[in-house]
């Protein structure tokens, strides 16, 4: 029997459509099967090619990503673990010009308890009272035995106390992390740095004026203050306050080229770590908030005014033999001189009468305008909030102009006077003072208030006052110190001048060949005592005898500290600093 050949041309209309004929070996000429096999193979090849291409692309990309490409830092960061950060405090540090920490924030812990979980309150109270000084056992017991679930035991423990409490191992006690503002230098820079309250809010000084900046920035704020000079200034002023049983004192050291205040002291002072010491007497900043009639140091401005307006020269003679009477006032000199003397000597012996004669040749308006340009009639501009407003006479009459000539009738703060006098000594250019460190070598733009020639003459006068005048006590060999003394009678509580309440001061500059530093010391109400050896002043309480020795010691200590070599007084320097008055002979020459 012949096998039944598959039906080729299906002519059977009843045959279902999906019927597939069984495969049989292709017969010759059966091209249909061959064609379908060919097609499958082609399809397979195309698919394999597509896969090959895809894998090829992937491997190329892999090689590119892993071997050739440098990783994108943003993407690379994703896979890394989070870097641990040091503790961030809510307030930045304050440091001095050399980076010594003046104010910083430390972590501290406050102890609290859950009395409900405490089993032996009596025993625990006894133990805690031992660890925490200043706490009473009975009070602690009352807290621990209460039926609350939360009581504060003590805020801000020291690390040692925290350790001791932890080692008790009592459940129910726990710590809350808090911040605490610390002033490692204690009272030394108190009036500059100021202080802040328990919540870290600045209440005085830099802490207050830079409150916002300190709480935003984590960079330390660098002040212009040098803590070493701060220590020297404080020690020397304190010595004089003690010797003269004075009520207080203040001092400023300034770099007059840059206007940076290197040291600012007001005594008595307070410890910003201990808010109990912050009382009105100690918090009062005499250097910036206190305004005083400064006395003879004002003759700096009076003399500069007369020289600048060319109504006087250093050698112009004034008769100072007769006191000046106006109304019920008499202006006289403590040590009258009964003949005429030149301007240079009026400055050096500090004659009130001579100073008044000099200002009489000028109008009060010119004087007021000049003092205004020196910044003496408006509050000082410096970065702490404790700034006193000068007491300016209104109207500014002739009598006011006479008394202001020798430093009475116009009250200014020591920092105002320091800035103005520095302008006179530093070539006649007024530069703003600052408590924040300036970049090294930066000289702030200033305002010319005196001609260079007048400033030069004033430098000679400063030096002359030390070599031949009232400022001799401030001389330090090798540093060409120039100075002016001042002693003002203070106004008493009931108005009128106190005869035994003086404000004695001395302002100095060095080296006078090219003034770089200003040292200003004021002793408030020194009391003279002939028999007190510590005073060494024969009972005198003037600026020369009270502030003078302090300034001398301060310069002698600070100059080597700042690396200033002694200056050899060459004939050129000597000539430049010597007051030249015809007819006065070599006596006036600085020797």
Partner 1 sequence: MMRSSTFLALVLVSGLGFGLFKVKYEVQSLEEELAKINRQAAADQDAIHVLKAEWSYLTQPVRIGDMAGRHLALAPVTSAQMGSFDQLPLKSDRPAEAEGGDVKIAAVLKAMQVASKPAQARQTNIAAVKPGGDR
Q: List contacts with partner 1 (CB under 8 A).
A: 80-81, 83-87, 100-102, 104, 106-107, 182, 184-186, 188, 227-228, 230-232, 235, 295-296, 333-335, 349-350, 352, 466-467, 469-470, 472-473, 475-479, 485-487, 537-538, 540, 542-545, 552, 556-557, 559-561, 565-566, 568-569, 591
The H-or-E segment that residue 178 falls in is strand 173-182
DSSP state of 287: T
Q: How far is the CB of 422 from partner 1 (least distance, A)?
A: 21
Nearer to partner 1, 266 or 296 (CB): 296
Nearer to partner 1, 10 or 242 (CB): 242
The H-or-E segment that residue 240 falls in is helix 227-243
* Catalytic residue chosen out of the listed positions 296, 413, 508, 513: 296
Distance CA(127)–CA(133), nearest Å, equals 11
Q: How far is the CB of 213 from partner 1 (least distance, A)?
A: 19
Distance CA(220)–CA(472), nearest Å, equals 42
**CB contact at 8 A, 258 and 443:** yes
3-state secondary structure string across 298-310: HHHHHHHHHHHCC
296 is catalytic: yes
Q: How far is the CB of 269 from partner 1 (least distance, A)?
A: 13
Distance CA(132)–CA(167), nearest Å, equals 14
- Angle CA(83)–CA(84)–CA(87) in degrees, nearest 5? 140
HSE-CB at 556 with a 13 A cutoff on CA atoms is 12
Nearer to partner 1, 367 or 535 (CB): 535
Enter the tokens of residue 468.
């031949």
Nearer to partner 1, 501 or 543 (CB): 543
Distance CA(454)–CA(425), nearest Å, equals 10
Q: How far is the CB of 550 from partner 1 (least distance, A)?
A: 14
- Residue 539 Ramachandran class (φ > 0 left, ψ -120 to 50 alpha, else beta): left
Q: How far is the CB of 401 from partner 1 (least distance, A)?
A: 19
Nearer to partner 1, 174 or 235 (CB): 235
Q: How far is the CB of 293 from partner 1 (least distance, A)?
A: 13
Nearer to partner 1, 198 or 536 (CB): 536
Nearer to partner 1, 210 or 479 (CB): 479
Nearer to partner 1, 345 or 401 (CB): 345
Peptide bond into 268 cis (omega under 30): yes
**What residues have CB less than 8 Å from 521, skipping those under 6 apart?**
233, 236, 237, 240, 249, 250, 251, 505, 506, 547, 550, 551, 554
Enter the tokens of residue 107.
């972590």
**List of E strands, 5-163:** 94-95, 101-113, 151-157
Distance CA(295)–CA(304), nearest Å, equals 16
DSSP state of 442: -
Q: How far is the CB of 356 from partner 1 (least distance, A)?
A: 13
**CB contact at 8 A, 520 and 251:** yes
> If you compute the radius of gyration of the chain from its CA atoms, what whole number of angstroms results?
43
Which residues have a catalytic role annotated? 296
């Amino acid at each position: 029997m012949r096998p039944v050949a598959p039906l080729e041309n299906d002519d059977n209309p009843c045959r279902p459509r999906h019927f597939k004929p069984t495969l049989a070996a292709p017969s010759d000429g059966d091209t249909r099967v061959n064609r379908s096999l060919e097609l499958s193979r082609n399809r397979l090849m195309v698919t394999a090619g597509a896969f090959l291409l895809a894998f090829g692309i992937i491997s190329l990309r892999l090689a590119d990503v892993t071997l050739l490409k440098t990783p994108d830092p943003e993407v690379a960061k994703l896979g890394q673990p989070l870097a641990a950060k040091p503790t961030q405090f809510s307030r930045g540090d304050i440091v001095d010009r050399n980076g010594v920490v003046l104010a910083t924030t430390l972590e501290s812990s406050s102890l609290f308890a859950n009395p409900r979980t405490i089993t032996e309150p009596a025993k625990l109270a006894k133990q805690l009272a031992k660890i925490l000084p200043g706490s009473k056992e009975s009070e602690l017991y009352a807290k621990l035995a209460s039926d609350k679930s939360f009581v504060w035991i003590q805020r801000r423990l020291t690390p040692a106390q925290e350790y001791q409490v932890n080692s008790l191992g009592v459940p129910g006690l726990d710590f809350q992390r808090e911040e605490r503002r610390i002033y490692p230098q204690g009272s030394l820079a108190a009036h500059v740095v100021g202080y802040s309250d328990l919540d870290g809010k600045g209440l005085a000084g830099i802490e207050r004026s830079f409150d916002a900046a300190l709480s935003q920035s984590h960079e330390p704020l660098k002040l212009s203050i040098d803590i070493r000079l701060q220590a020297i200034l404080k020690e020397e002023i304190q010595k004089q306050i003690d010797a003269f049983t004075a009520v207080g004192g203040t001092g400023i050291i300034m770099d007059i080229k840059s206007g940076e205040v290197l040291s600012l002291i007001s005594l008595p002072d307070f410890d910003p770590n201990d808010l109990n010491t912050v009382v009105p007497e100690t918090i009062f900043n005499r250097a910036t908030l206190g305004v005083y009639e400064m006395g003879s140091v004002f003759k700096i401005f009076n003399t500069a005014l007369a020289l600048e307006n060319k109504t006087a020269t250093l050698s112009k003679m004034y008769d100072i033999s007769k006191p000046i009477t106006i109304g019920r006032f008499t202006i006289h000199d403590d040590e009258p001189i009964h003949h005429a003397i030149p301007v240079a000597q009026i400055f050096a012996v500090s004659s009130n009468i001579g100073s008044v004669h000099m200002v009489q040749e000028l109008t009060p308006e010119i004087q007021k305008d000049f003092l205004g340009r020196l910044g003496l009639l408006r509050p000082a501009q410096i970065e702490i909030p404790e700034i006193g407003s000068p007491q300016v006479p209104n109207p500014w009459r002739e009598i006011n102009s006479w008394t202001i000539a020798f430093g009475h009738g116009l009250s200014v703060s020591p920092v105002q006077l320091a800035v103005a006098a520095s302008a006179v000594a530093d070539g006649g250019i007024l530069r703003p003072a600052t408590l924040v460190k300036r970049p090294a070598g930066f000289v702030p733009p200033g305002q010319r208030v005196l001609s260079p020639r007048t400033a030069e003459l004033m430098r000679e006068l400063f030096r002359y006052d030390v070599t031949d005048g009232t400022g001799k006590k401030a001389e330090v060999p090798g540093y060409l110190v120039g100075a002016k003394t001042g002693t003002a009678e203070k106004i008493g509580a009931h108005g009128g001048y106190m005869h035994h309440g003086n404000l004695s001061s001395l302002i100095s500059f060095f080296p006078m060949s090219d003034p770089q530093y200003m040292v200003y010391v004021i002793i408030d109400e020194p009391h003279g005592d002939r028999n007190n050896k510590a005073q060494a002043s024969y009972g005198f309480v003037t600026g020369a005898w009270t502030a003078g020795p302090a300034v001398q010691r301060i310069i002698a200590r600070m100059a080597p500290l700042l690396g200033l070599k002694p200056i050899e007084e060459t004939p050129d320097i000597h000539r430049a600093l010597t007051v030249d008055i015809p007819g006065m002979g070599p006596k006036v020459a600085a020797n």
